[in-house]
Structure 1
C-alpha cells in the first residue's frame, strides 16, 4: 500500500486524481494539469510536498559531518537561515540524492531529501555517522508536513493565510529561511517562480491548506509540478541523474566544490573522471513531443554521435516541446540535432537548459 500524507483525504475531497508516486499516494491533478501550470506561472498555486522528508542534523560536529558528506561546501553557509543546494554522492561519484541544506545554527542543520530516496538516504547517513565517529545525529522529522506556495502572487496570498508571518518573511531573499512560531518558511521552490516552501506540524497542515484555499491559492498536482520544473531547467532525481551518473554529467557542476582542500565522498572519483557529456536543453522544431530515453543524433566535427533525452514534455508556457538531454562534448548552443520520435528523426535546436523563469520565456 502506498504511504499517505496528512493531506490525503483533503486531496480526495477536492476531486484530485491520485497516483502512486515513489510509494506515495499523491495528487496528479485536480481536473486540469494545464490550468494548474498556468495558475503557478501567472498567479499562484500550491503543492503538497509532505512526501519529502525533513531531516534534522544536530550536534557539535554537524558542520564538519555535512562538510564531508555532500559535494557542495557547507562552509558557504554563514548566515542563519541560508540554504544550499547540493548532491550527496557515493564513492564512485554517482548521485545518491539531491537535497537542500538549511543552516539553523552551528549545531543544527535541516536537510530536505526526496521521498523515493528517504530510506536509502537515512541508511547512508547513519553508516557515515558510524564510520566517521562525528558527534552528530540525524533525526527524520516525520511529524512535519510541507506545503509549497508558488507563483508571482505567492507571497501576497501566503500572508493573507498567515498574516502573522509577514514581518519576518517579507524580506527573505532567495534560498533563505526563517522560523515563525511553528512555521519554517523557506524562499525555495521547484517551479522557477517566486514563493515559499513551508514546513509545519502535520497536525496544522489541513487548517493551513484551507486558509490558502480561502486566500485564492489553486491546488496543483504532480503533473503541473513536473512541467513547471522542466521549463525552469530543474533536475528530477531518477530521471536526470541517479547513482550511475556523475553530477558533472548532469548539469550539476555548479553544486560541486572541487577547489577547496575539503574532502568529501566521491571527490576522488570526480577528479579522476572529468565530464564525459554536456547537459543541455532541446527545443523541438517539428511537431511532436520529446520524452525521456529518446535518442538524440548530433554531428560534432563531421562525426555523428549520440545523446539521450533525460526529461521531455510539451511546454504549456512556450506551446512547444522541450527537453533536457545528455549530449556529447563539442555540441554547441544553437546547433540543430535530430531526435528519434516514433521511428522519425525530428529536428531540434540546442539551447540553454532553462526555458522559463518568473513567467518569462528565456529562449
Structure 2
C-alpha cells in the first residue's frame, strides 16, 4: 500500500481506478480517460495533486539562496504572489527537478519569503539537494505535508471555483492574473496549471479539502485522474520529469531554455558555467514535437530517424484526444528540420516535426 492523500476515500467513492504513482495511491481515471481529457478542454475538471511537495523558504538570505539554487531568477518576482517556472540544475547543467516558485510576503521587505512546489517522485532528492546548498545561507526550509492541493482546469474553471468559495476567498480570486497567486486565510489560490488551459491550483488545509472537492462536484466539475493529466500536458507541450528531462539532460536540450535567466551576468546559479559552454558551442540536441495523422500511436523510447542527419528518441507520446491522432515529444539532433520517420513495429512511419506544443486553450497551434 502506498501513501494516501486526504481525498483517497473520495476517489474510491467516485469510482477511481487506483494505481501506484511514485509511492502514492492515486486515481488513474474514473471510468474514461478520454472523457476526462475532453471535459477539461470543454468545461472544467479537477485533479487531486496533493502528492506534490510544498516547501516554504524563509530567512534573511532566502532570495539570494534561491537565486543561486535555481536557473530562473526569483529576483524578477517583484509583486506578492507572482510565480515563475524554473529548473533546479546540477553542476553539469542537468535538471535535478523542475518546479514552480511563488513570491510570498512583500518582495524586497524583511518579510519576503517564497513557496516552492516540486515533484513528488523527486521529493527526497530535491530536499537533500536544497539542504546541501543551503549551508552558507541564512535560510530555513519547511515542508508543508498538511497542505492539500487541488488543480481545477478548463475554460469554466475559474467561474466554477468562484461559485463555491467563501467571500474572502472570492476576493483573493478577483483580479488574479495568469501565473499569480493570492492568499485567503490558510488557503492559497494560484492561476497556474499543467494542462494548457486556464485554471487554478489551490493549496488548502487537508481538513478543508474533502468539502471543497464535494462542493466542486456539486457545481459540475468532474474528477480527473493521472491519465488525462498526462495527455493534457502532452498536448500542451509541457515536460514530464523523468521522461522529457532529468539529471542527464540540459534545459537547452529540453525546450526549457526560456526558463534560464542569463541576466544579470554576475548571478552565479548552479549549472551556469556548463550551460554557458553548451550555448557557446551550440547544443547538439533539441526537443521537438512529432505529429502522426495516420493510424498508430507514438510511444516513448521509439527511435526517430532523420535522413542525412541522425537519430533521436521519443521521450513522451500518446494518442491526443483533442486532435484525434497521435503526437509526441522527441529529442533529436539540432539540425532536424520538418520531417522524420519513427520506427514502429519494424516499419518506418513518416511524421511531421513541429514546435513542441500542439494544443492551447482547446485549439490546435501547429500548422
TM-score, normalised relative to structure 2: 0.95
Check whether the contact 1:59–1:137 (CA below 8 A) recurs between aligned residues: yes
State yes or no: 1:361 paired with 2:364. Answer: yes
Check whether the contact 1:40–1:151 (CA below 8 A) recurs between aligned residues: yes
From 313, 322, 336, the equivalent of 2:318 is: 313
Residues 51-77 of structure 1: CA deviation (Å, up to 9, x unaligned): 001100001110000000000011110
1:282 corresponds to which residue? 290
Q: Aligned partners of 1:153 and 1:24: how far apart in 2?
A: 29
Superposition pairs of residues 68-147 of structure 1, within 5 angstroms: 68-105=68-105, 106=107, 107-130=112-135, 133-147=136-150
- CA-based RMSD: 1.0
Superposition pairs of residues 97-246 of structure 1, within 5 angstroms: 97-105=97-105, 106=107, 107-130=112-135, 133-164=136-167, 165-246=169-250
5+ residue gaps, structure 2, are none
1:255 corresponds to which residue? 259
Matched residue SS, 2:193? coil
Q: CA deviation at 1:273?
A: 2.4
Q: Aligned partners of 2:196 and 2:89: how far apart in 1?
A: 25
Q: CA deviation at 1:304?
A: 4.0
- Residues 348-357 or 258-267, more deviating: 258-267
Matched residue SS, 2:10? helix
Q: CA deviation at 1:258?
A: 2.4
TM-score, normalised relative to structure 1: 0.96
Q: Aligned partners of 1:75 and 1:297: how far apart in 2?
A: 42
Q: Aligned partners of 2:84 and 2:274: how far apart in 1?
A: 22
Check whether the contact 2:172–2:189 (CA below 8 A) recurs between aligned residues: no
Q: Aligned partners of 1:272 and 1:330: how far apart in 2?
A: 19
Matched residue SS, 2:291? strand
Q: CA deviation at 1:163?
A: 4.4
Residues 180-227 of structure 1: CA deviation (Å, up to 9, x unaligned): 122100000000001100000011111111111111100000000000
5+ residue gaps, structure 1, are none
1:27 corresponds to which residue? 27
1:325 corresponds to which residue? 330
- The total of aligned residue pairs comes to 356
Q: CA deviation at 1:297?
A: 0.4
Check whether the contact 2:287–2:330 (CA below 8 A) recurs between aligned residues: yes
Q: CA deviation at 1:169?
A: 1.1
